[in-house]
């Protein structure tokens, strides 16, 4: 199941990561896509809790940090962290359940 992150209402805005692995790392040339209701041109982006950019729903990432997006009709997304680590153990960026078979990637 899915649970909202706040008690003020359902949260439907999602931040998708491409390539779809977590943790996301800069040297993978990460692209974030904000999905939610409303006009894509009304997407507001936040980096490290500060308003960073307003515009389209797709954004290439050039700096390490914590990213969120906001869509007028569905609110704020959960954060996605993009790091600049030199060695990472990655898992697929999707919901995982106990008992799932998971492919891990050790990359550096």
Report how far residue 21's alpha carbon sits from residue 101's, in angstroms, rounded to the nearest whole number: 15
- At residue 89, does pLDDT exceed 60? yes
Res 94: pLDDT: 80
Peptide bond into 89 cis (omega under 30): no
What's the CATH code of the domain at 80?
2.60.40.10
Residue 82 lies inside a defined structural domain of this protein: yes
Write the pLDDT tens digit of every residue in 60-82: 999 999 999 999 889 999 999 99
Position 39 in a domain: yes
* DSSP state string for the chain: ----SSTTS----EEEEES-EESEEGGG--EEEEE-SS-GGGEEEEETTEEEEEE-SEEE--S-EEEEEEETTTEEPPPEEEE--SSEEEEESS---TT-----EEE-
The domain of 36 spans: 14-107
Residue 1 belongs to some domain of the structure: no
Number of domains in the chain: 1
Domain assignment present for residue 52? The answer is yes
9 in a structural domain: no
Confidence of residue 11 (pLDDT cuts 50, 70, 90): low
Mean pLDDT of 37-45: 84
For residue 56, tell me if it sits in a domain: yes
């Amino acid at each position: 199941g899915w649970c909202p992150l706040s008690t003020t209402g359902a949260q439907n805005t999602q931040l998708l990561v491409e390539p779809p692995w977590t943790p996301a790392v800069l040297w993978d040339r990460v692209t974030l896509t904000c999905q939610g209701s409303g006009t894509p041109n009304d997407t507001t982006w936040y980096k490290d809790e500060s308003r960073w950019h307003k515009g389209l729903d797709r954004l290439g990432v050039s700096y390490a940090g914590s990213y969120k997006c906001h869509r007028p009709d569905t609110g704020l997304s959960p954060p996605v962290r993009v790091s600049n680590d030199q060695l990472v153990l990655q898992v697929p960026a999707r919901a995982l359940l106990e008992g799932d078979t998971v492919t891990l990637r050790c990359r550096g």
